[in-house]
Structure 1
Amino acid sequence: MTDALTATGICCAYGPVQALFGVDLRVGPGELVGLCGPNGVGKSTLLRVLSGLHRPSSGTVGLLGADVTAVPAARRVRLGLSTVVGQAAYGSLTVLENLRLQGYGMPGRDARAGLDAALAVFPRLARRAHQPAATLSGGERQMLVLAKALVQRPRVLLVDELSLGLAPIVVGGLLEMLRRINATGVAMLIVEQSVNVALSLADRLYFLEKGAVAAEHGAAALAGRPDLVRSLMLGGHS
């Protein structure tokens, strides 16, 4: 069966500074995979490469069986890849206007279907459809960013630091939403600094250290190994 997303031998640099060193990673169809590690190890850089925002110096990116290494970011969205980063939304626009803008360029019927599907997943946003995004709470803004991605009806979803800066009760609700989205068949790669959040979601986890994959483990194998998790997060893997 064809993988939803692959990275093979990815090297990447910012000018003379190399950030990624031969990264290999795969996300199977409908799989939810976590990418963990402390700040500065290259997690967000890898997501930029996968989404098409940064060209690797070597290596290949595969999307649903196609080599998309040289494909621009906008084209990757049309091929089925969407990315969720932070709480990015247009504060002066209403919730509905933000969602409609996300469907710009899509055929009218597809954009409407995507909008309806996103609001069905997030009924709380439907109740705030005419409210400016700037007036939403942090958790609601994060819901809006997820909903914006769903308008595009992705087959693969990249999520960067969903839980950052949010209260635990809000994070719990968002994680349940991610599980529901994943249950529809959307493959996901979740970048998380909180390994507990990643363990509660993912089927498998990759750990990055100094721009390279240090380890890969099934979530079930790590559930009862806090010592191993701690060493992986602190760079003390064997």
Structure 2
Amino acid sequence: MAGDIVLQTTGLSGGYGSIQVLFGIDLTVRRGETVALCGPNGVGKSTLVRMISGLSRPSAGTVFLNGLDVTGVPGARRPRLGMSTVIGQQAFGSLSVRDNLRMHTYPVNRTDEKPTTSVDGALAVFPRLRARADQPASTLSGGERQMLVLAKTLIQRPDVLLIDEFSLGLAPVVVGGLLELIRRLATAGVGTLLIEQSVNVAMSVADRLLFMEHGTIIAEHTPAELRESPDLARRLVLGGHAS
């Protein structure tokens, strides 16, 4: 059951230079809750993730992490405060899988746990990665690289996890395994904001779905509400402002 608010944005606006992309975004994610952000390409979903994670600065509005105003905190410092971000399948290709994970122990250091212990624990969750632990990350498949960035999340032990374009280009069987990890993180109290193109994927894991259009959130529904009204889901995901 979701608890206290771990992530909140109020009036978040901004874009790139003179081009405004977001217009007053208000959202919340509670502890142990998974919230999916859906909508067609170009509506501002990835821009929102960048601003929440500190990779871009908003022109207005506030980002709160566990009640703390982190709007001006650089993105590199946010993992120490409890925020972890997964964008794409980024990895250091020339480093081994194990060394990639070890790299992510340094900016966190939020517990007294030894880096080796946390890396071994993350590998234990992903047998496929453990079998390739000493191979360069450049040799991994797309699904394995996504596992690697999620294994990084286990090491960072965030209070809130931001994931952009989660299932893009991955086989359904791989997506299913990664969704199970998100469910396990939710059970452990991690709040997740998931950017997802596939409403079906989002409905299978999210507690709430938010729909964006023209840089604003136009609707919020539970999976049960969308299953009862398939036409509503189709209109929202195609960018139709359903009443």
CA-CA distance at 1:110 after TM superposition:
4.9
The match for 2:196 among 189, 192, 195 is 192
Show the counterpart of 2:30. Answer: 28
Q: Is the Cα–Cα contact under 8 Å of residues 114 and 153 in structure 1 kept in the other structure?
A: no
Distance 1:142 1:110, change over 3 A: same
Indicate conservation of the 8 Å contact 2:162/2:193, yes or no. Answer: yes
Q: Which residue of 2 aligns with 1:143?
A: 147
Partner Cα separation in structure 1 for residue 223 and residue 114 of structure 2? 36
Task: Specify whether residues 58 and 151 from structure 1 end up closer, same or farther in structure 2 by C-alpha distance, changes over 3 A only.
Answer: same
Answer yes or no: is 1:219 the counterpart of 2:223. Answer: yes
CA offsets 1:28-62 (integer angstroms, 9 cap, x no match): 11101000001000000000011011111111101
The verdict on how the C-alpha distance between 1:64 and 1:113 changes in structure 2, with shifts beyond 3 A counting, is: farther
Q: Is the 8 A contact 1:163 1:171 kept in 2?
A: yes
What do the CA deviations read for 1:71-106 (whole angstroms, capped 9, x no partner)?
111221100000011111111111001001111244
Which amino acid in 2 is paired with 1:10?
A: L
Distance 2:75 2:114 in 1: 20
Alignment of 1:195-206 (within 5 A): 195-206=199-210
Give 3-state SS (helix, strand or coil) of 2:144's partner: helix
Give structure 1 stretches of 5+ with no counterpart.
none
Equivalent residue in structure 1 for 2:174, among 167, 170, 188: 170
1:235 to 228, 232, 239: 239
Which deviates more from structure 2 when the two are superposed, residues 21-30 or residues 168-177?
A: 168-177
1:113, distance to aligned residue in structure 2 (A): 4.1
In structure 2, the gaps of 5 or more residues are: none
The CA distance in 2 between the partners of 1:191 and 1:167, in whole Å, is 18
CA contact (8 A) 2:97 2:133 kept: yes
1:53 to 52, 55, 67: 55
What is the CA distance between 1:165 and its match in structure 2?
A: 0.7
Q: Which amino acid aligns with 2:81?
A: L
- Distance across 2 between alignment mates of 1:29 and 1:152: 16
The offset of 1:123, in angstroms, is 2.5
Deviation at 1:169, TM superposition (A): 1.7
Q: Which TM-score applies when normalising by structure 1?
A: 0.95
1:124 equivalent among 121, 125, 128: 128
Whether the 8 Å contact between 2:8 and 2:29 is mirrored in structure 1 is yes
SS of residue paired to 2:228: coil
Identity %: 62
Native 8 Å contact 1:2 1:65 kept in 2: no
Cα RMSD of the aligned pairs, angstroms, is 1.4
**AA paired with 1:53?**
L
Q: Matched residues in 1 for 2:53 and 2:121: separation? A: 23
Which stretch shows the higher mean deviation, 57-66 or 104-113? 104-113
Q: Which amino acid aligns with 1:136?
A: L
Q: How does 1:55-70 map to 2 (within 5 A)?
A: 55-70=57-72
Query: Post-superposition shift, 1:224?
Result: 2.4
Corresponding residue for 2:82?
80
AA of the residue aligned to 1:123: P
- Across the two proteins, how many residue pairs are aligned to each other? 238
SS in 2 for 1:141: helix
Task: Give the letter aligned to residue 201 of structure 2.
Answer: V
